[in-house]
Amino acid sequence: MKNNGFFRRLSTFAAGMLAMAMLVTLAEPVSAAGEKFACNQVGVRVMRKQQVKAGETWTAPNGQQVPSTITYTDATGGRTNYIAASRLSELLDADISWDEETGSVDVGVAPSAPGEVTVTVETRSSDDPPRTTPPNAPEYGKVIGNLEEIDPETVKDMIAETPSSYYIRETRMQSPDGSFPAITAHPAGSGETYLVYTVTNHGETPKDVTAARPVTIANRRESFPTLHVQPGETLTRVFRVLKDEDTHPLQRTFTFGVSRSATDRDIHPRDLPVSDVTVSLATYRQA
């Protein structure tokens, strides 16, 4: 399972402490009397995939080896299993942070940046020239979830052939708001090898082309660079689908979209030219 820098945001306190979250209580009598604690006796499965094996320890974000699970047996023999909050957040693909004011571990809430935030307001007159569209800046080799964006030139012969299947096939849409409905894909490394996203702009203004992974529980997204397709041009983005065992089951949902560009945002909505794009999202299997 790839980290992708996800847990670098953990606070020192949350990373070092073994803050426990109860998973499940089992009423299973044992012969020993008194209260007992035992480590690593149980495993954890997420979506029926084994993520923690019984008997194994876990390397915490601060590098320390800690128990993957702790089993507490009370005086009556009832068992309760616990798991570290930071480990639980990893299994659920959720942000985790430490709230000093309330003395609480926040799961599913991205930590806020320290320091004061200054908000500035830009004023623009009608005589100002429109903002220029940023240049295309793909980041080949960037990995999010189980997708890696690669240079289309490296597989140009393959993607010139007929795709194995389509999520959406060469669909043309005209809309006044400048967008195309987002496409949701669940690429699986067991079948799909490449995901190819193609956008042709028939309109008069540039369009933003996005690819992102919504993060489970936390209200944020991990995004590949936003690229821009100019009027009259076609943009092709290619993503290599990594093997299933390389990623968490919850990391394999992506959205692909087309939206108004920065230059469009300087135009009043009633003056916007109609958006006119053709979109295709196809899968290829390498022989």
Sequence-separated (6 or more) residues with CB below 8 Å from residue 53: 43, 68
Tens of pLDDT, residues 97-135: 777 787 777 776 655 544 443 333 344 455 555 544 455
Residues 150 and 255 in one domain: yes
Tokens standing for residue 201: 């702009």
Q: What's the domain count of the chain?
A: 2
Tell me, yes or no, whether 161 and 266 share the same domain.
yes
Mean pLDDT of the chain: 74
Angle at 187 between CA 186 and CA 189, to 5 degrees: 140
What CATH number does residue 172 fall under?
Answer: 2.60.120.680
Q: How far apart are CA 160 and CA 152, in angstroms?
A: 11
Contact 176, 274 (CB under 8 A): yes
Coil vs helix vs strand at 4 = coil
Asked whether residue 280 carries a pLDDT value surpassing 70, the answer given is yes
Q: Is residue 136 part of a domain?
A: no
Backbone angles phi, psi at 197, to 5 degrees: -110, 120
Three-state SS for 222? strand
Same-domain pairing of 50 and 150: no
Q: Is the pLDDT of residue 73 over 80?
A: yes
Within a domain: 228: yes
Question: Could you give the 3-state DSSP secondary structure of residue 273?
Answer: coil
Task: Give yes or no: residues 103 and 20 share one domain.
Answer: yes
Q: Please give the model's pTM, rounded to 2 decimal places.
A: 0.61
pLDDT at residue 201, rounded to an integer: 94
State the pLDDT confidence band at 29, using cuts at 50, 70 and 90: very low
Return the pLDDT at 13. 33
64 and 191 co-located in one domain: no
pLDDT at 166 over 90: yes
Same structural domain for residues 100 and 155? no
What Cα–Cα distance (Å) separates residue 56 from each residue in 2, 88, 271?
A: 19, 15, 62
Same domain for 246 and 194?
yes
Same domain, yes or no: 167 and 58? no
Same-domain check for residues 102 and 151: no
Low-confidence winner among 85-89, 91-95, 186-190 (lowest mean pLDDT) = 91-95
Binned at pLDDT 50, 70 and 90, residue 67 comes out as: confident
**Statement: residue 278 has pLDDT above 90:** yes
Q: What is the pLDDT of residues 176-231, one digit of tens each?
A: 777 788 899 988 766 678 999 999 999 888 899 999 998 766 667 889 999 999 99
199 in the same domain as 88 = no
Shared-domain flag, residues 99 and 147: no
Give the residue from 280, 267, 132, 274 showing the smallest Cα distance to 204.
Answer: 274
Q: Residue 15 domain-assigned?
A: yes
Q: Are residues 67 and 188 in the same domain?
A: no
Residue-number span of the structural domain to which 158 is assigned: 143-284
Judge whether 155 lies within some domain.
yes
